[in-house]
């Protein structure tokens, strides 16, 4: 259930019955190849949050679509929030969730830019130091790296097989596979940096490639979701066992 679809009375009632955890989906708005939507980085963690919420007894906070896009701002529709502004935005959201009564927030992140990851870490650490909020940041594509290679047979990438499979699974209407072409993708090369980057599908090594397979996409999404749910349950239990909260 989404926090923003409830009235305040229902929120208070849920908290009084022992609800302690919120999930905060976060991404950015940027190009993901010519075949995927600009909101890919938020659509995926939001879908994972929906799959997870009931199993870990959590509410879903309003997703944060805006993030710290960097090398792809030249592509139409790609939007950038400055890292410091983004950090303060996330910090204030966490502060509001703590004030509301949540004891822990699962940050389901879908964007891998270094600036965004640093901002999330900083905001999460400050939230613990300043007002005792437990946080768990999940970068789903990193956690699922081995699953990607096992289920899809290739390494993922920006707009690559992993993100394409996830969008295929949850919003197949948004995938325009006919627009994808290998020549419009590129691989990162050590010692080279380009601003803007001259491709919006980016592979991180020679093992990166595209897979356009709807059946494997559904299997991949379920396995990723199950992996994340198991990890979240494990860490929530660890927080309790160590006396850090959620008692």
Per the domain annotation, does 100 fall within a domain? yes
Distance of alpha carbon 131 from alpha carbon 151, whole angstroms = 41
Structure confidence at residue 44 (pLDDT): 99
* Residue tagged 């290998």 (tokens): 182
**What does DSSP say about strands 201-203 and 157-158: parallel, antiparallel, or unpaired?**
antiparallel
Per the domain annotation, does 163 fall within a domain? yes
Backbone φ and ψ of 184, nearest 5°: -95, 10
Structure confidence at residue 189 (pLDDT): 86
Per the domain annotation, does 139 fall within a domain? yes
| Cα diameter, the chain | 56
Per the domain annotation, does 63 fall within a domain? yes
Give me the domain span that covers residue 210.
Answer: 3-241
Per the domain annotation, does 43 fall within a domain? yes
Q: Which of 107, 110, 137, 88 is nearest to 39 (CA)?
A: 110
Per the domain annotation, does 41 fall within a domain? yes
The CB density around residue 227, as the number of other CB atoms within 10 Å, is 15
Structure confidence at residue 213 (pLDDT): 85
Distance of alpha carbon 58 from alpha carbon 101, whole angstroms = 12
Residues 75/201, Cβ–Cβ less than 8 Å: no
Instruction: Give the CATH number, domain containing residue 164.
Output: 3.40.50.10310
Structure confidence at residue 208 (pLDDT): 73
Spans of the chain, pLDDT less than 70: none
Per the domain annotation, does 247 fall within a domain? no
Residue 119 tokens, joined: 């901002």
Q: What domain count does the chain have?
A: 1
Per the domain annotation, does 246 fall within a domain? no
Q: How far is CA 47 from CA 18, 25, 55, 140, 247, in A?
A: 24, 9, 14, 12, 28
Structure confidence at residue 211 (pLDDT): 83
């Amino acid at each position: 259930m989404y926090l923003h679809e409830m009235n305040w009375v229902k929120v208070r009632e849920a908290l009084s019955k022992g609800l302690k955890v919120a999930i905060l989906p976060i991404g950015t708005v940027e190009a993901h190849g010519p075949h995927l939507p600009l909101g890919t980085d938020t659509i995926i963690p939001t879908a994972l949050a929906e799959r997870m919420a009931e199993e870990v007894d959590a509410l879903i906070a309003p997703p944060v679509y805006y993030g710290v896009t960097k090398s792809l701002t030249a592509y139409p529709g790609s939007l950038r929030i400055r890292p410091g502004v983004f950090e303060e935005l996330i910090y204030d959201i966490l502060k509001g969730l703590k004030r509301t009564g949540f004891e822990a927030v699962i940050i389901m992140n879908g964007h891998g830019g270094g600036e965004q990851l640093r901002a999330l870490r900083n905001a999460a650490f400050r939230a613990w130091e300043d007002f005792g909020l437990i946080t768990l940041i999940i970068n789903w594509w990193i956690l699922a790296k081995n699953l990607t290679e096992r289920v899809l047979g290739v390494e993922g990438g920006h707009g690559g097989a992993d993100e394409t499979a996830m969008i295929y699974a949850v919003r197949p209407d948004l995938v325009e596979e006919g627009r994808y072409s290998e020549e419009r993708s590129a691989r990162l090369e050590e010692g080279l940096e380009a601003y803007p980057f001259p491709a919006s599908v980016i592979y991180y090594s020679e093992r990166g490639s595209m897979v356009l397979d709807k059946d494997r996409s559904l299997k991949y999404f379920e396995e990723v979701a199950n992996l994340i749910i198991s990890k979240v349950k494990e860490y929530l239990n660890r927080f309790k066992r160590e006396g850090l909260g959620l008692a």
